[in-house]
Amino acid sequence: MAPLTRRELLKKAVVLTAGSSVYLGSYAMPTPASMEDKTRVILVRDKDLLDEKGKIVPSVMEDMLNRALCNLYGVSSPSEAWKKVAGPSDIVGVKSNNWRFLPTPPELEAVIEKGLIQAGVKKENISIRDRGVLNDPVFQKATALINTRPMRTHYWSGVGSLIKNYILFDPNPPKYHPDTCADLAKLWELPLVKNKTRLNILVMVTPLFHGSGPHHFNEEYTWPYKGIIVGTDPVAVDSVGLRIIQAKRKQFFGDDRPLNPPAKHIYLADTRHHLGTADPAKIDLITIGWAENQLI
């Protein structure tokens, strides 16, 4: 397979077709394409999401997710929207992430479960977990998956993304590590996963934009963005999240500070594996709510 190089990305950016700017800092700026064939991604933010102690206010989180779903599916009520996600005959695995420093918020998991039950899914046919999905009977029989995790920078894949969140569906995760996780999109071909994902929710409540130390975490490198990004295309949702992380790095460090290593698995999920689109010109991004310091 031919290497992906800076020159190639620049040439593509010059002809304005590829979403390469996140890999090149501000060097390449794609222009919008026509509205046809665009994948819809919803970014919702609410300045009241966190209370004075920094804890998530459950009712605000519920409202944010419901608004996102209504806009994603073009319906007027949350109950209609949840029916687009799943129904009474579905068995639903919710793949979350329990990394100790920045897990999928339990408040969000509770909202997802409530929505699924509201759509008619039986409680016993819902499982929400991270580790142990391979041995979980619900995940083994799942007809539908919901994928949710916080975005954070990562020492080996550039960012911990929605694409990467399925790595525990393989019993041997390190096999996806070569070339700094270039081909993580292959995970989405696994039988337990393929064509089952109905919804992707990227948590951007307090994202991590830079790492430090063995655990790659320091509170100094998080900020209260108070958002979630929702869509059906994991590559498009990750691509939007990545642009926000890059913008925050530039704002914080004062210069174009590329991720080390670059999160090329998101770009390659599009260009090499055709899982979705990473190209901003092909993403119909709808932003809702608090717009201050939106960074995108």
Helix orientation angle between 106-118 and 78-85, rounded to the nearest 10 degrees: 90
SS3 208: strand
Q: Judged by CB under 8 A, does residue 219 bind another protein?
A: yes
Within residues 102-161, the interface with another protein by CB under 8 A covers 154-157
* Helix or strand run (H / E) with residue 267: helix 264-271
Measured between alpha carbons, how far apart are the two ends of the chain, in Å? 33
Of 123, 174, 191, 195, the one binding another protein by CB under 8 A: 174
Q: Which is nearer to another protein, 9 or 86 (CB)?
A: 9
Six token digits for residue 215: 């655990």
Q: Judged by CB under 8 A, does residue 5 bind another protein?
A: yes
Query: What contacts 24+ positions apart, CB below 8 Å, involve 174-183?
Result: 180/156, 180/261, 180/262, 180/264, 180/265, 181/156, 181/157, 181/265, 182/264, 182/265, 182/268, 182/272, 183/265, 183/268, 183/272, 183/273
Candidates 37-45, 60-68, 230-238, 252-260: pick the segment binding another protein (CB under 8 A): 252-260
Listed residue (165, 151, 148) closest to 111, CA to CA = 148
Q: Judged by CB under 8 A, does residue 189 bind another protein?
A: no
Q: Judged by CB under 8 A, does residue 98 bind another protein?
A: no
Q: Judged by CB under 8 A, does residue 19 bind another protein?
A: no
Residues 26-65: x where in contact with another protein by CB under 8 A, - otherwise, as a string: -xx-------------------------------------
Rounded-to-integer distance, Cα 205 and Cα 149, Å: 11
Of 54, 171, 191, 214, the one binding another protein by CB under 8 A: 214
CB of residue 288 to another protein, shortest distance in Å: 32
Per CB under 8 A, residues contacting another protein are 1, 3-11, 13-14, 23-24, 27-28, 101, 154-157, 173-174, 177, 179-182, 210-221, 253-256, 258, 260-262, 264, 268
